[in-house]
Amino acid sequence: MIENTIIKANNTGRKAAVFTLDFPSLHLVELAAHVGFDAVHIDGEHGYFPTEAIDNICRVANGYNMSVTARVPDSTPYWVNLFLDRGVQGITGPHINNAEEAQNLSDACLFPPHGKRSWGGGRGTEFDDIILLEKKYGGKLEFAKWTNSNMLVWAQIESKIAWENLNNILDVEGLTGITGGPNDLAASLGHPGEPDHKERIRITDDAENRTRKAGKLVASDTFSAVDIRQLMFTYSRELLNKIKKEKI
């Protein structure tokens, strides 16, 4: 395992640059490394990622010294384990609506004594190589503590009820902080299709301010993400429009 490169960037006083994948592509992971991204993020809720693809993405990304984080399809321990066992070092739990769900998410992400994460035999535990774990970390318990310190646990706040329960959510130990979901939040407020509605913006601002006051982090304060759609819809579209105006 490598040191979490998002946390490492933050510790130097800057945001991390994260490349987001909606679909498996080892070529894009390599290109992200070549241009200088700090980490890769997998959207496992709306993207499509079989476990073999997650494993390969972590293998290549870690080889280029980039950590991998992921939004899981569901915040249950089953799904969290599938991603963490591959070597993912940060989990975003979608649709966290109360403290119990936030606690279950945190417990699934962190090894005892700080959580209830199950011990697997994949990359996430150095393949349970007893000799390596002892030599590199000082044993399983020290490895567990090191892994916990390199784990990011984000609760995605994307409903009115989650906002109403936010204070209790923020009381959960082990939770790094929150991230948003403007489209779903707007819909839950009665404004579907209007993620820029002033009420949605007001509630998001309030949630982020309360999170910072509680001593936890807002994900957008720690990293900025770019995905292939952004690159295609902005730079590529502008380039195409320019090309189509050229005369032969």
Domain ranges for the chain, please list them. 5-244
Q: Where are the beta strands (DSSP E) in the chain?
A: 16-21, 39-43, 67-71, 90-93, 152-157, 177-180, 217-218, 223-227
pTM across the whole model = 0.92
> Any alpha helices (H) in 117-181, and if so which ranges?
130-132, 140-149, 160-164, 166-170
| pLDDT tens digits for range 80-109 | 999 999 999 999 999 999 999 999 999 999
DSSP-derived 3-state class of residue 75: coil
**Domain 5-244 bears CATH identifier 3.40.50.1370:** no
C-alpha dihedral (167, 169, 171, 172), degrees to nearest 10: 180
| 113 prior amide bond cis, ω within 30 | yes
Structure-token match 């994900």, residue found: 219
| pLDDT tens digits for range 35-59 | 999 999 999 999 989 999 999 999 9
Pair of tokens at residue 231: 């690159």
